[in-house]
């Protein structure tokens, strides 16, 4: 049996979906533990593309039990649409389970996300405007609505009415927006309950039984370490804990049960949304990476900011997540550049530093120190053994391992789930 976790080590979109899908084949249970439909995971299976936002990427493998854990925030309309889209493509979501403790994204969360971003003006966080932040804020404020309340008409009506007293005042008096009618929300959501009720259950006991029975469980990370509320580039982060520790609180298992933690990274770096990015190439190099790697958001379609791989970040991720292996993608993409740069450390106030600072003011003073590598232009997408990679690619990958101090377990040489080297 194995309990595995897949997490992002950068700012998201590292290609987690591809590996989750691959490892799901060997798992009985696939569990999402954080975030919501701010995530966008792309899987290309036998040339067919799928984009998943809320449903665990394991759904593409028949017979896997897919679970949305308590740490996830769920927009019922989005979930139903995703279920419908999958079933139209012949993929069953019958075995999808949702934690009765997961919080529900409400219409006022989405409106508030938008109004708050508008209010921040040029200092906006570049959120996905899916209501993620306001839903998690309500969770900690202790006025959130959980799945167990959502499926109980009396509780749901009481909580919606109670919440709207405050939410409508904030929307109308602070932001000058238009508030909501409790009745229309209750009516809309009661339609969703009819379709989702049978999927809502105490998933925590299912996960713990599976551990006891020695089953293979895969915890699917969304977002990434540098978007983590505690460890990311705060405040330019999301509102949950996508790091490996989030598995314990977002699915309800003890840390001692986890066997392997895969940290996914790209052979370069990308970021969507605002916030610091030390190795960003806001120039022709960044544009070339974007076009070669097709770096456009899976969720919002926004062009992603691109730059060189930063091993200061990956070292920090290795530590914070306790990574047991690295999974590196887009080795095919980066090889096509004329010269490749790898950030090994930063120079700040005349000193060489190897740690990622908490203060964004300090981070702004950090200048990346690079090593330069020769490229590999040949098509590597059909290579399945590390030894068969071009010498320059092997040199680049070995240096990453050395700088990060964690072995590479998986190498992505193309979009398709088969285009992977497993070490």
Residues forming the active site: 13, 41
Among 272, 285, 314, 408, binds ligand IMO (CB under 6 A): 272
Q: Which does 263 bind (CB under 5 to 8 A by kind): ligand IMO, ligand GDP, Mg ion, none?
A: none
In the complex, the smallest distance separating the C-beta of residue 216 from ligand IMO, rounded to whole angstroms, is 22
In the complex, the smallest distance separating the C-beta of residue 210 from ligand GDP, rounded to whole angstroms, is 24
Among 13, 82, 220, 310, binds ligand GDP (CB under 6 A): 13
Interacting residues with ligand GDP between 242 and 271 (CB under 6 A): none
Q: CB–CB of 290/306 below 8 Å?
A: yes
CA distance 351 to 299: 39
- CB atoms closer than 10 angstroms to residue 48: 10
Among 73, 132, 312, 328, binds ligand IMO (CB under 6 A): 132
Angle at 374 between CA 371 and CA 380, to 5 degrees: 125
x/- string (CB under 6 A) for ligand IMO, residues 160-179?
A: --------------------
Q: Which does 128 bind (CB under 5 to 8 A by kind): ligand GDP, Mg ion, ligand IMO, none?
A: ligand IMO
Interacting residues with ligand GDP between 139 and 178 (CB under 6 A): none
Nearest in space to 340 (alpha carbons), one of 299, 314, 294, 373: 373
Token representation of residue 345:
């450390």
Q: CB–CB of 201/98 below 8 Å?
A: yes
List C-alpha distances in Å: 132 to 46, 86, 237, 299: 33, 23, 11, 13
Interaction of residue 34 with ligand GDP, rule CB under 6 A? no
x/- string (CB under 6 A) for ligand GDP, residues 287-316?
A: ------xx---x------------------
Token representation of residue 117:
């971003």
Q: CB–CB of 117/125 below 8 Å?
A: yes
Q: Which does 127 bind (CB under 5 to 8 A by kind): ligand GDP, Mg ion, ligand IMO, none?
A: ligand IMO
Q: Which does 412 bind (CB under 5 to 8 A by kind): ligand GDP, ligand IMO, Mg ion, none?
A: ligand GDP
146 backbone dihedrals φ, ψ, rounded to 5°: -90, 165
| Cross-strand pairs, 225 | none
In the complex, the smallest distance separating the C-beta of residue 81 from Mg ion, rounded to whole angstroms, is 18
Interaction of residue 409 with ligand GDP, rule CB under 6 A? no
Q: Is 284 exposed, middle or buried (0-12, 13-18, 19+ CB in 10 A)?
A: exposed
* Cα 173 to the center of its chain, rounded Å: 34
Nearest in space to 411 (alpha carbons), one of 382, 375, 386, 391: 386
Of 12-20, 167-175, 359-367, 381-389, the window that binds Mg ion (rule: CB under 5 A) is 12-20
Interaction of residue 40 with Mg ion, rule CB under 5 A? yes
Interaction of residue 242 with Mg ion, rule CB under 5 A? no
- CB atoms closer than 10 angstroms to residue 378: 14
- 7, 381, 385, 279: CA torsion to nearest 10: -50
Tokens 């409400």 identify what position? 106
Interaction of residue 227 with ligand IMO, rule CB under 6 A? yes
Of 7-15, 158-166, 360-368, 398-406, the window that binds ligand GDP (rule: CB under 6 A) is 7-15
Contacts (Cβ under 8 Å, ≥6 apart) of 347: 353, 366, 367, 369
Interaction of residue 321 with ligand GDP, rule CB under 6 A? no
Q: Which does 15 bind (CB under 5 to 8 A by kind): ligand IMO, ligand GDP, Mg ion, none?
A: ligand GDP
Please, which residue, 125 or 369, has the CB nearer to Mg ion? 125
Please, which residue, 210 or 265, has the CB nearer to ligand IMO? 265
Please, which residue, 224 or 380, has the CB nearer to ligand IMO? 224
Among 44, 77, 80, 125, binds ligand IMO (CB under 6 A): 125
| Cross-strand pairs, 280 | 307
In the complex, the smallest distance separating the C-beta of residue 338 from ligand IMO, rounded to whole angstroms, is 28
Q: CB–CB of 28/3 below 8 Å?
A: no
| Cross-strand pairs, 271 | 305
Please, which residue, 38 or 163, has the CB nearer to Mg ion? 38
Interaction of residue 12 with ligand IMO, rule CB under 6 A? yes
Residues making contact with Mg ion (CB under 5 A): 13, 40, 298
Residues making contact with ligand IMO (CB under 6 A): 8, 11-13, 38-41, 125-128, 130, 132-133, 222-224, 227, 238-239, 272-273, 298
Residues making contact with ligand GDP (CB under 6 A): 8, 12-18, 40-42, 44, 293-294, 298, 329-330, 332-333, 412-415
């Amino acid at each position: 049996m194995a309990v595995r976790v897949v997490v992002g080590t950068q700012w998201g979109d590292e290609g987690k979906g591809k590996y989750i899908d691959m490892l799901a084949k060997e798992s009985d249970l696939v569990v999402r533990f954080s975030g919501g439909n701010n995530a966008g995971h792309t899987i290309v299976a036998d040339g067919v593309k799928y984009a998943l936002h809320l449903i665990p990427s394991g759904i593409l493998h028949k017979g896997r039990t897919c679970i949305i854990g308590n740490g996830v925030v769920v927009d019922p309309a989005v979930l139903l649409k995703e279920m419908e889209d999958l079933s139209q493509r012949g993929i069953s979501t019958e075995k999808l389970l949702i934690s009765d403790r997961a919080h529900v994204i409400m219409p006022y969360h989405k409106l508030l996300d938008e109004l708050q971003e508008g209010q921040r003006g040029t200092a906006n966080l570049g959120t996905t405007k899916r209501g993620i932040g306001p839903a998690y804020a309500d969770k900690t404020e202790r006025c959130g609505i959980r799945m167990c309340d959502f499926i109980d008409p009396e509780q749901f009506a009481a909580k919606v009415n109670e919440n709207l007293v405050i939410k409508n005042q904030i929307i109308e008096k602070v932001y000058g927006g238009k508030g909501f009618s409790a009745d229309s929300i209750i009516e809309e959501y009661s339609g969703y309950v009819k379709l989702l009720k049978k999927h809502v259950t105490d998933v925590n006991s299912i996960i713990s039984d599976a551990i006891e029975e020695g089953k293979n469980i895969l915890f699917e990370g969304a977002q990434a370490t540098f978007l983590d509320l505690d460890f990311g580039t705060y405040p330019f982060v999301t509102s949950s804990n996508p790091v490996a520790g989030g598995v314990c609180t977002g699915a309800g298992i003890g840390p001692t049960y986890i066997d392997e933690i895969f940290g996914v990274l790209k052979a370069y770096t990308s970021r969507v949304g605002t916030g610091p990015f030390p190795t960003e190439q806001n120039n022709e190099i960044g544009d070339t990476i974007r076009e070669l790697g097709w770096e456009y958001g899976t969720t919002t379609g926004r062009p992603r900011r691109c730059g060189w791989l930063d091993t200061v970040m990956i070292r920090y991720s290795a530590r914070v997540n306790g990574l047991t292996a690295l999974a590196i993608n887009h080795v095919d993409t980066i090889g096509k550049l004329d010269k490749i740069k790898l950030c090994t450390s930063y120079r700040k106030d005349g000193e060489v530093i190897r740690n990622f600072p908490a203060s964004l003011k300090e981070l702004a003073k950090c200048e990346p120190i690079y090593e330069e590598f020769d490229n590999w232009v040949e098509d590597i997408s059909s290579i399945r053994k590390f030894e068969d990679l071009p010498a320059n690619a092997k040199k680049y990958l070995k240096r990453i391992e050395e700088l990060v101090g964690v072995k590479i377990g998986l190498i992505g040489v193309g979009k398709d789930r088969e285009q992977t080297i497993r070490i």
